[in-house]
Amino acid sequence: MFTTEPAKTVFQPPRRSGVVKSSEHPRAKKVVGIVVTQVVVILGVLLSIFPFYWLVVMSTNTTAAIFGFPPTLTFGSHLFANIANVFANIDLLRALLNTLIVSLACAVLVMFFDSLAAFTFAKYKFPLQKPLFALLLVTFMIPAQLSLVPNFVIMAHLGWVGSLQALIVPGAANAFGIFLLRQLATGAIPDELIESARMDGAGFFRTYWTVAIPLLRGGLAFLGIFTFIGAWNDYVWPLIVLVNPQQQTLQVALSQLNSVYGTDYGMVMAGALMSVLPLIGVFLIGSRHFIANIAAGAVKG
């Protein structure tokens, strides 16, 4: 008789063909995320640079070439001719000097007065501190256009209509800078440093200058750049208060390049290009302190 033996079961591990290790998924997602981020950043940079590039292109071409179809995207050969037309139609150098004086004065005064007020609000206790700061925040909701007539009346009583003081004094401080630096000073300036300075015999202004200013350097750089650009590009208030043609600022002078019967857009764009170049220089100088302060804070953190 034949006896049948039970078949032996051989264990076979499951096939793993086509299975990707779990550690490869995060790596692939990370690479895709980096690529997408880089593409988005490059597109953002190109979109930001294109208006300036288009300004340069228009300032080097004639009006006919600017309005041609299809529009030209290459540089022309009329840049120096357009610049010469700008100098022939307006006193550009005087306007540049007036605007530089106003912008520098406003930036310096805003950085001083706003940092002084912000340091006081952040690190000192005094009567009506919270109501005063709340009133300061309320001024954000008041449109700037509502203050044009009252400011003009005040300048007329002071006899400053037609002078650069009418631009500098009203812009010597603003609520935005106080709020910005106050928020920064609250966390950036330790109370222990102020107590140490007080124990060493330092008064309020010495503490402000030796303790607060170095720690607020990044915020002050940003506020200075922001204020300088705002004063440089201001048009409505200088147009109203500067009745003396010799005291005109750059934006008011450039507006005179537009003619009722026709506008040479190549000349206008050349003037706009010359008005933008100083702002780029100011930004490059001020941003060094701003970025250096951010990097120092990141390392300390």
pLDDT at 301: 44
- pLDDT band, very low/low/confident/very high, at 129 (cuts 50, 70, 90): confident
Q: How confident is the model at residue 289 (pLDDT cuts 50, 70, 90)?
A: low
Q: What pLDDT is attached to residue 297?
A: 46
**Residue pair 223/180 in contact by the 8 Å Cβ criterion:** yes
**Residue written as tokens 């009133």?**
135
Residue 49 has pLDDT above 80, yes or no: yes
Secondary structure of residue 41 in the 3-state scheme: helix
- Rounded CA-CA distance 118/133 in Å is 10
30 has pLDDT over 70? yes
Instruction: Answer yes or no: CATH 3.30.70.580 is held by domain 90-256.
Output: no
pLDDT tens across 228-276, in order? 999 999 999 999 998 887 888 999 988 888 775 567 888 888 888 888 8
Across residues 14-18, what is the average pLDDT?
54
Q: Which residue has the tokens 């005291």?
A: 247
CB atoms within 10 A of CB 133: 17
The helix/strand/coil state of 53 is helix
Domains of the chain, by residue range, sit at: 90-256
How far apart CA 135 and CA 137 sit, in angstroms, is: 5
**Three-class DSSP labels, 113-181:** HHHHHHHHHHHCCCCCHHHHHHHHHHHHHCCHHHHHHHHHHHHHHHCCCCCCHHHHCCCCCCHHHHHHH
> What pLDDT band is residue 104 in, cutting at 50, 70 and 90?
very high
Given this model, what pLDDT does residue 299 score?
40
pLDDT at 63 over 60: yes
Classify burial at 256, counting beta carbons within 10 Å of its beta carbon; exposed 0-12, middle 13-18, buried 19 or more: middle
pTM for the model stands at 0.80
- Res. 201: pLDDT tops 90: no
Query: Rounded distance, CA 262 to CA 178, Å?
Result: 45
> What is the reported pLDDT for 72?
78
pLDDT, tens digit (0-9, with 9 covering 90-100), for 142-163: 888 888 889 999 999 998 988 8
78 and 60 Cβ atoms separated by less than 8 Å = yes
